[in-house]
Structure 1
Amino acid sequence: MLTTHDNKKPDIRGTARYEMIHQVLQQAIKAKTLPVGLVMLEGPLAELFGTSRVPVRRALGLLHEEGLLSRFEGRGFIVAAADQEIEPVRMPLNRTMLGFDQQQELVDTRSTGEKVLSDLHEALSTCMVFGHYQLNEASAAEFYHVSRNVIRESLMRLRDRGLVEKEPYSQWLAGPLTAREIREHYEVRASLEPAALRRAGPLIPQKHIEASLTHIERIRTSKVSTGIELEQVEDDLHLLSLEFAGNRALVDILRQSHSTLTIARIFHETLSLPVDEAMVSEHQVIYQLLLEGRWDLAARNLDEHLANAQNRTLKKLKVLSVLPEPTLPPTSIASADPQHNPAAKPPLFQK
């Protein structure tokens, strides 16, 4: 979908597990993060990737055919071309050598439907900040090599989150996310979240709060944090913690008002900025108050945090408004503005 993917991230469209392993190892060898002469054995690799030896064996075979690995004493392979005389290097293989941090999954074990849903969520939540867009089901199905039913089911779930909309016999539409909508979303959240936190406070397990604090500290001290990780920090407080209030209808409403959180992710990824220190500090204070059992004060701090977050989000939206629109894949997502899409029929996009 949108070209927001990390170049280390394998293509999700029908990629088999051995192909993912092959891509990861191939990139690591070419980037020279795997030392020349390193001995590659199926067992340790299978354990590192969290899979059986079968896909690892096939991936190593492909790398050998490509000339990136050589056979090693009839047992495993060595990082070297066939004609190289290299001293074997025996050392444990780790995530850093593959170009990954400790939290990243080396092999995506999600179902195809889950991958498509995640990718559509990222694509649509990004493009909606830059304008009014439509998604063509048939083109998306062709792009992902799945049926239209898979695409439709994903879009219906994203509609429940407030990311897309669809009228009968019309296209799926996303955006635009305007300053007015941001204010409206935060008004809804400010009306519901503090009250929900007061109710949830005594019911939130201590281990959930401690895990959330640990997550915040990891993000704060990490030299590199992704937009997805920042979104998870937001979800930890504004959705997962509030689920303990026991009101599913309320959480569903809040989920639909959380499209504003994508602005922080896009801002972070587009401009390569460090983590928002004000945001994580405010989260940390709220969690500390919850740990101390001061639930009313935690709720009041949450109310103040939402007011601050609204102001920060509006400022970020202004900055994003002057940036170029995202690059879109062919025919899958297109601008719904007739001026950007001359072939489009204007009545389809009237609000």
Structure 2
Amino acid sequence: MPVTPPHEERLASRYEMIRNTLREAILAGQAAPGLVLVEGPLAELFGTSRVPVRQALNLLHEEGLIRRFDGRGYLIDPDGSATAPQRLPLTRKLLGLEPREDLIDNRSLGERIHDELASCVIRFMVFGHYRIDEQRAAEALGVSRSIVREALMRLRDRGLVEKEPYSQWLAGPLTAQAVIQDYELRVLLEPDALRQGVEGVTRDELEKMLARIVDAQEAGSRVERSAIEQIEQDLHVTCLAGLRNARMAAIIRQCQIPMNVGRVLHEALHTSTDEAMLQEHRLVFEALLHGTVESASSCLRDHLCRARERTLQRLKVLSVLPEPELPPYLERLA
């Protein structure tokens, strides 16, 4: 079975990377049937907390590659052969992962917690309004309260959470009205930001960005969600990074929250492809490579208008889906 390239795995969310890595090892027969997988040792192996490990194991269980048994953890049993449990120390070699140095997470602890809290907020904000408890988050993630507070302050700067003086941290809800308002600002600002920012992107980089879109189109329904997110990053972040107006750049970042709706829908329905988005992105990059920046800006404006309507439709789909299980540090508000 082909191994997902390391640079693509790093783009996926933490739990997806862990799920994909273990899935490949199980299907390739590298991780032996009967081996018991336990959250703690796996979290240490992947350099993360237990939260994304738990999510990854739940997905593998739903897929039927591992199963519960009379004991702690999960049993690798892709064929349902009722193999006897093997409780061995979990090592890279035992899981068939020894050559893959990319599993080592070199991010600081603060970065890991920031990313995990961001992923959690993004996943739940489309379902309602929530209070975030600093102390419970620290306990659940196994870090100090100050690290959690610092991460939440960074999320506030991104517009993902809010906090009034001496009050609780709040997240969501992402409403249809908020989506419409955010896209109104993006339609006004991003095309002009592209004119300025793309000056700092080389032709070679643009060609690689276009190639990623073409590869995703050819992959069709087999495209990885990480590839879709990289394509979004290419246009809406990398190509705008050279924007000289810092305040304008900050407003654009805060208005890009609706982009996360696609990720939430992917997690709920296990679908990655977005053919219309890919074609719209392709038109932008083809125009840029032809040197017609004005045409590219016009294509970007058209893409954002269409993306707004798709996002609103996705919100309607998500409104009828069951809310995921809440982590202990999130409390839904009435």
Q: TM-score, normalised by structure 1?
A: 0.68
| In structure 2, distance between residues paired with 1:312 and 1:117 | 28
Cα 1:275–1:159 change in 2 (3 A) is same
Partner of 1:268: 266
Whether 1:259 and 2:257 are equivalent positions in the alignment is: yes
| In structure 2, distance between residues paired with 1:78 and 1:179 | 48
| SS of the residue 1:334 aligns to | strand
Partner of 1:60: none
Q: TM-score, normalised by structure 2?
A: 0.71
Is the Cα contact below 8 Å between 2:18 and 2:46 reproduced in 1? Answer: no
Residue 34 (structure 1) aligned to one of 25, 30, 37: 30
Whether 1:9 and 2:44 are equivalent positions in the alignment is: no
| In structure 2, distance between residues paired with 1:110 and 1:149 | 18
Whether 1:197 and 2:194 are equivalent positions in the alignment is: yes
For 1:301, the aligned partner's letter is C
Q: Report deviation, 1:145.
A: 1.3
Is the Cα contact below 8 Å between 1:228 and 1:265 reproduced in 2? Answer: no
Partner of 1:74: none
| In structure 2, distance between residues paired with 1:32 and 1:50 | 19
| In structure 2, distance between residues paired with 1:149 and 1:35 | 38
Residue 206 (structure 1) aligned to one of 203, 225, 239: 203
Q: Report deviation, 1:217.
A: 3.1
In the TM superposition, what whole-angstrom CA distance separates every residue of 1:46-85 from its partner, at most 9, and x where no partner exists? xxx999xxxxxxxxxxxxx94589xxxxxxx899xxxxxx
Cα 1:146–1:226 change in 2 (3 A) is farther
In the TM superposition, what whole-angstrom CA distance separates every residue of 1:189-226 from its partner, at most 9, and x where no partner exists? 01101111122344421122122223323433446445
Cα 1:66–1:297 change in 2 (3 A) is same
Q: Report deviation, 1:175.
A: 0.6
Cα 1:173–1:239 change in 2 (3 A) is same
Cα 1:93–1:219 change in 2 (3 A) is farther
Matches within 5 A, 1:38-187: 66=87, 105-187=102-184
| SS of the residue 2:331 aligns to | strand
| In structure 1, distance between residues paired with 2:31 and 2:319 | 44
Is the Cα contact below 8 Å between 1:202 and 1:295 reproduced in 2? Answer: no
In the TM superposition, what whole-angstrom CA distance separates every residue of 1:145-173 from its partner, at most 9, and x where no partner exists? 11111111111111111110000111110
Indicate the larger mover: 316-325 or 218-227.
218-227
Task: Please state which structure has a larger fraction of its residues in helix.
Answer: 2
Q: Report deviation, 1:259.
A: 0.8
For 1:220, the aligned partner's letter is Q
Q: Percent identity?
A: 40
Cα 1:202–1:30 change in 2 (3 A) is closer
Partner of 1:43: none
Partner of 1:238: 236
For 1:174, the aligned partner's letter is A
| SS of the residue 1:317 aligns to | helix
| In structure 1, distance between residues paired with 2:167 and 2:152 | 13
For 1:182, the aligned partner's letter is V
| SS of the residue 1:245 aligns to | coil
In the TM superposition, what whole-angstrom CA distance separates every residue of 1:248-273 from its partner, at most 9, and x where no partner exists? 32221111011101101111221122
Aligned length: 268
| SS of the residue 1:273 aligns to | coil
Is the Cα contact below 8 Å between 1:209 and 1:291 reproduced in 2? Answer: yes
Cα 1:132–1:291 change in 2 (3 A) is same
| In structure 2, distance between residues paired with 1:78 and 1:237 | 40
For structure 2, the residue ranges without an aligned partner over 5 or more in a row are 1-12, 33-44, 48-85
| In structure 1, distance between residues paired with 2:231 and 2:317 | 23
Cα 1:217–1:200 change in 2 (3 A) is same
Q: Report deviation, 1:30.
A: 6.2
| In structure 1, distance between residues paired with 2:185 and 2:245 | 16
| In structure 1, distance between residues paired with 2:16 and 2:284 | 36
Is the Cα contact below 8 Å between 1:226 and 1:269 reproduced in 2? Answer: no
| In structure 2, distance between residues paired with 1:216 and 1:227 | 13
| SS of the residue 1:134 aligns to | strand
Partner of 1:248: 246
For 1:315, the aligned partner's letter is Q
Partner of 1:326: 324
